[in-house]
Amino acid sequence: MGSFFETHRATLDKALEAIKTRDYWSAYPEAPSGRIYGETANKDGLAAFDSYKDSAFDLAQPGTVGQIGEEVSPYGFPLNITYPQADLDVLLPAAQAAMKTWAKADINTRTGVCLEILHRLNQRSFELGYAVMHTTGQGFMMAFQAGAPHAQDRGLEAVAYAYDEMQRTPANSRWTKPQGKHDPLVMDKKYRVVPRGVSLMVGCSTFPTWNSYSGLFASLATGNAVVIKPHPKAVLPLAITAKIAREVIAEAGFDTNLVTLATDSQAAPITATLATRPEVRIVDYTGSTQFGDWIEDNARQAVVYTEKAGVNSIVIDSSDDFKGMIRNLSFSLSLYSGQMCTTPQNIFIPKEGISVGDDHMSFDEVTNALAQGVSKFLSDPDRAAEVLGAIQNPATAERIAEASKLGDVVLASEAKTNPRFENASVHSPVIMKLDANQEDIYMQELFGPIAFVIATDSTEDSLERAARGAREHGAITSAIYSANDEVLEQAEDLMAEAGVALSCNLTGGVFVNQSAAFSDFHATGGNPAANASLTDSAFVSSRFRIVQSRRHAVTVAV
């Protein structure tokens, strides 16, 4: 039990080191390889996924009043899984009660339990990968990586931040104040980490684990109970997570209701009710701006961390590696059919064109090259199927069709077929050409594989619009291509002020829509796209309070 901490101490120490150096590090291998995860891991994971289908997922939670479920794989088949429907008047008090012993456990014990949960989640990465694939529509490779090891890394990162933050204040101190010729005043003091209360984790439909694990583990490590409210279309990955967590918690001798699942349906959502319950003192939310704003405005009894929508921009000023740029952007625009909160949408290019090495390319030459790049990249059906994945939400497919009317289409979206799943909803990106003054069209998030190439007066104009878009409408990523160091520095200043991370001249195997745990911060909390960052100390330090007790020390005369 206490030994979970010792077992995983080296992992924790490396994580603590990584968040300080911010060099590359990962605790959980991202290769879906039998050599790493076991020769039968893939087969076992798929079998585990299949076994959930057409049945009731049992969590043995208190207050279960029914079973509900409505998940449909974006690859074209219903999952037919039902999950416990909870009576919140039973579930929330049970979560509160579970905190009693957990809050009093020492920091190492709680940290050890979190690390063991992450370890077991990692062992189940294939199973989680299939669960993520068939709820989100991500291709398997991405579902495995982003849904399992990368999500686990983000969870571990949060545990490391929480541990570091809790350890900053000692559990005990002796305070000795000199009093001149008199005896000193001597006090013994105790400092206790006191959790805030029940923590609500609201999952999203596109990254049910990746966007949830930071909040889940930050709250759990700091002594809170966590109620997971998954998106009704992406329950399974979080149900498996909850089950694994409950198993480890029970083995460690704590109350399993520290982690519970509260499932709802699209017809009868419960998030608004849950988020405003007095027992709920922390909310982590990923989803629409409208509902995120509602939670921020109404869940006043809680500390609220939100990630909402944004408008991500790319500024193209000039390039020394045009082919690399086009290749890199083609992948970024195609990956998971643009259904990432980090996918670029607005590509600003001077209407007079750009310098490419010693040459000049016109605006149309650049945009055509981009369209051809994406088209060529997706011409291989297997690659297209894997990279594009499937459209998670039918509304996204409709949005593609509608969006195509908004500008001159440079690249039309194609409905594609997946060689293995004939009913999968697959759509390649649409790229449209706009003028810079058409802000009413492009200064809003059009979620999905929808991008605009926007003709501006100059790079300065591009930068101003990109920064203003981030500042006013939010952005999680931004990128610039320029062969001019001064322009890069100017972009760094402007994007820093707009509170958005900047990627410069990405041409190789790093993409603007990807962030690496322990090194890259995901969102900043500094613009409307998110009020929090994964993970900084602000993300963990308000999840608990330090409460002290002091008394005169019993000192022994020398």
Of these, 45, 139, 208, 525, which contacts a copy of itself (CB under 8 A)?
525
Give me the 174-213 binding string for a copy of itself, x by CB under 8 A, dash otherwise: xxxxxx-----x-x-xxxx-x-x-----------------
Q: Residue 549 interacts with a copy of itself (CB under 8 A)? A: yes
Parallel, antiparallel or unpaired: strands 313-316 and 346-350 = parallel
CB-based contacts of 364-368 (< 8 A; 24+ apart in sequence): 366/316, 366/453, 367/410, 367/431, 367/433, 367/453, 368/410
Query: From the CB of 406, what's the least distance to a copy of itself, in Å?
Result: 30
- Token pair of 530 as six digits: 């998110």
Q: Please enumerate in sequence order all residues whose Cβ is within 8 A of that of 237, keeping only pairs 6 or more positions apart, or say none.
A: 128, 131, 132, 135, 147, 208, 209, 230
Query: From the CB of 525, what's the least distance to a copy of itself, in Å?
Result: 5
Order of strands, edge to edge, in the sheet holding 81-86? 55-56, 81-86, 64-68
Q: Residue 301 interacts with a copy of itself (CB under 8 A)? A: no
Q: Give the range of 63-71, 72-80, 168-176, 439-447 binding a copy of itself by CB under 8 A.
A: 168-176
Neighbours of 258 (CB within 10 A): 28
* Residue closer to a copy of itself, measured from CB, 116 or 296: 296
Of these, 218, 326, 341, 506, which contacts a copy of itself (CB under 8 A)?
506
DSSP helix/strand/coil, 381: helix
Taking the C-alpha atoms of residue 198 and residue 322, their distance in angstroms, rounded to an integer, is 51
Between the alpha carbon of residue 393 and those of residues 222, 293, 402, 428, the distances in Å are 35, 22, 15, 15
- 286 membership: H or E segment, kind and range: strand 280-286
For the chain, how many helices (H) and strands (E)?
21, 25
Taking the C-alpha atoms of residue 356 and residue 374, their distance in angstroms, rounded to an integer, is 19
Q: Give the range of 53-61, 167-175, 237-245, 394-402 binding a copy of itself by CB under 8 A.
A: 167-175
Report DSSP letters for 79-129, one per residue.
--EEEEEE-HHHHHHHHHHHHHHHHHS-HHHHHHHHHHHHHHHHHTHHHHH
Q: Which of residues 92-111 bind a copy of itself (CB under 8 A)?
A: 104
Q: Residue 519 interacts with a copy of itself (CB under 8 A)? A: yes
* Residue closer to a copy of itself, measured from CB, 373 or 525: 525
* Residue closer to a copy of itself, measured from CB, 19 or 227: 19
Query: From the CB of 38, what's the least distance to a copy of itself, in Å?
Result: 20
Q: Residue 504 interacts with a copy of itself (CB under 8 A)? A: yes
For the chain, the residue count is 558
User: In this structure, are residues 503 and 329 in contact, taking their beta carbons and an 8 Å threshold?
Assistant: no
* Residue closer to a copy of itself, measured from CB, 412 or 488: 488
Q: Give the range of 14-22, 239-247, 378-386, 424-432 binding a copy of itself by CB under 8 A.
A: 14-22
Amino acid at 42: N
* Residue closer to a copy of itself, measured from CB, 321 or 460: 321
Query: From the CB of 506, what's the least distance to a copy of itself, in Å?
Result: 7
* Residue closer to a copy of itself, measured from CB, 23 or 422: 23
Q: Which of residues 407-466 bind a copy of itself (CB under 8 A)?
A: none
Q: Residue 484 interacts with a copy of itself (CB under 8 A)? A: no
Query: From the CB of 552, what's the least distance to a copy of itself, in Å?
Result: 6
Query: From the CB of 83, what's the least distance to a copy of itself, in Å?
Result: 32
Closest by CA to 11, choosing from 28, 23, 24, is 28
Of these, 60, 300, 440, 556, which contacts a copy of itself (CB under 8 A)?
300
Binding residues vs a copy of itself (CB under 8 A): 19-24, 104, 164-165, 168-170, 173-179, 185, 187, 189-192, 194, 196, 296-297, 300, 488, 492-493, 495-497, 499-510, 516, 519-521, 524-526, 533, 536-538, 541-542, 545-552
